Chains A and B, each alone.
Chain A
Amino acid sequence: DVVLTQSPLSLPVTLGQPASISCRSSQGLVGSDGITYLHWFQQRPGQSPRRLIYKVSNRDSGVPDRFSGSGSGTDFTLKITRVEAEDVGVYYCMQATHWPPYTFGQGTKLEIK
């Protein structure tokens, strides 16, 4: 199974400051079709998860442009340019290249300092 390792697991950030979350895979995530199926999800307290980024760097509809995804191979990053109060929650990366099973990272908890 593909193991996704996120860091940090806890991320205290000052409002208006940038934030960055790393997701490292135990194996390369490029599919046989050349597409990398690495996605990012946000779960606000008490809510269902919501997808932010799909296939490494594509922002979902309605997601603020302060969120961006990048990376390739085994190393991927979610960046927030200026953290706002509504960004508090847990962020997960997920791979859908080598399945089954589809696997998630452990989650990174973002909080405001």
Chain B
Amino acid sequence: VQLVESGGGLVQPGGSLRLSCEASGFTFSNYWMHWVRQAPGKGLVWVSQINNDGSSTTYADSVRGRFTVSRDNAKNTLFLQMNSLRAEDTAMYYCLSDVDAAIGRDWGQGTLVTVSS
């Protein structure tokens, strides 16, 4: 099983980024997926989830209305569209699997988002 995130980088406040997470080694379309972030030197914070077919999504209050999670099961890829970025969104962003109703069996290596002018 492998999850590989990409798309992070330096962006100005108010800007946008689109993160991707490419999955392999398991039947991606069968499972819910999540995004979790970790600010530098801080703990883990759940950001968003999406069900297996993409018809249902949930967000943390801190990102609702600014972030959109989606997936392309044909390409085994999870996305996180991040708009109106703020300095407090600066963090490492991880994608996680949710297999057998137990979140977090698999984690990616993370992609770093830095929001700064």
Contact = CB atoms under 8 A, between A and B. Distances in A.
Interface string A5-40: 000000000000000000000000000000101010
A48 B110 CA distance: 7
A94 B102 contact: no
Contact of A102 (B43, B46, B107): B46
Interface size class of A (residues with CB under 8 A): 20 to 34
5 contacts: A39-B104, A48-B108, A58-B102, A101-B60, A105-B43
Q: Which of B58, B101, B102 is packed against the most chain A CB atoms within 10 Å?
A: B102
Interface of A: 35, 37, 39, 41, 43, 48-51, 54-55, 58, 60, 90, 92, 94, 96, 99-107
Contact of A106 (B43, B49, B59, B60): B43
A63 B3 CA distance: 20
B45 interface: yes
Contacts of A35: 101
B34 interface: yes
